[in-house]
Amino acid sequence: MKKVYNFNAGPCVLPKPAIEAAIEALKDFKGTGMSVIEISHRTKEWDAVMDECRSLWRELLNIPDTHEILFMGGGASMQFLMVAMNFLEKKGAYLETGVWAKKALKEAKGLGEAYAVASSADKTFCYIPKDYEIPADADYFHITTNNTIYGTEIRKDIDSPVPLIADMSSDIMSRPVDVSKYALIYGGAQKNVGPAGVAFAIINKETLGKVSRYIPTMLNYQTFIDGASMFNTPPVFSIFVMNETLKWLKAQGGVEAINKINVRKAEMLYDEIDRNSMFVGTAAKEDRSIMNVCFVMAPGKEELQDEFMAFAKDHGMVGVKGHRSVGGFRASLYNACPVEAVEALVACMQEFEKLHK
């Protein structure tokens, strides 16, 4: 098999043990003689997977009993609407830090009054706004903790006077989180906790039931609480791989241990970007993401962008092209991205620099 280093932003690199377990389960799920993608979700074998997966979420993030863990389809993009459906009564407040935050706000505006209390759009979302006030009369305050396109991240839990809601699609399980501070944490799985096809929600049950509108059944978080995430057929294969991914994470020492590795990987790459005469980082240094490292060619070197892209590809780097809306380069360093991959990318950047000195 060809040796490559996967820096894709999502779907992303997954732990090898999770992939191997998935292959076996596709052949024969728990000795049933059937594949995991054809087994009934109303069986004790599947119940065991769901129970274990919820238990791992609770253990790894120290989720309190006040919060329920839900799995559903539709991705984080469906959650944008679900958030407003379930929480917006009079006014929703948002921190606008990128494309996904803007999309979440757009869905809320379609249902009622919603606005951005602060935005970093003035500088192409290269920083996290600092001096803003969360309105005490808002129904909730929504943040996007990690911005994959622009490489910025909110790495500390915010103290909010109103229910705090966070899209953590791309940094969930990468660092410790005080879940008790959040009314809702949600996201798509395809960055750190599994393949595409399943979304997660960690929700404080006491924060629901506050809106007066009718909520369609499949957009109501209470539906998934009452049905234990199986009101309808869940995305079984994606949940199975998620469970195996979380088992791998626990074996690595859990969230605190993986956070130390993630910080090490990010520092290694940022140090090279800051040192290397060929490249420059795009995010404000105090707001740099440890999940998505974004950079461009240094001033005067722009004409070498395509050459470096080809050079990196020849050296086994996959997925380092920046998002189509901003260009440049992006290396996504999610949990399963090994230190070895970052070392290889750094060596590739150093070699490219030597060729052009």
- Locus of tokens 């999940």: 291
CA 296, 302, 304, 306 dihedral sign is: positive
Query: Checking DSSP bridges between strand 184-188 and strand 199-204, what pairing results, if any?
Result: antiparallel
157 backbone dihedrals φ, ψ, rounded to 5°? -70, 130
* Angle formed at CA 300 by CA 4 and CA 122, multiple of 5 degrees: 85
First to last CA, the chain: 34
* Dist CA 33 CA 39 (whole Å): 9
Question: Residue with structure tokens 């389960």?
Answer: 25
Contact (Cβ atoms closer than 8 angstroms) between residue 9 and residue 321: no
Label residue 17 exposed, middle or buried (CB < 10 Å: 0-12, 13-18, 19+): middle
State both tokens at 297.
Answer: 């060619």
Catalytic amino acids? 100, 167, 191
Q: Are residues 172 and 155 in contact, defined by beta-carbon separation less than 8 angstroms?
A: no
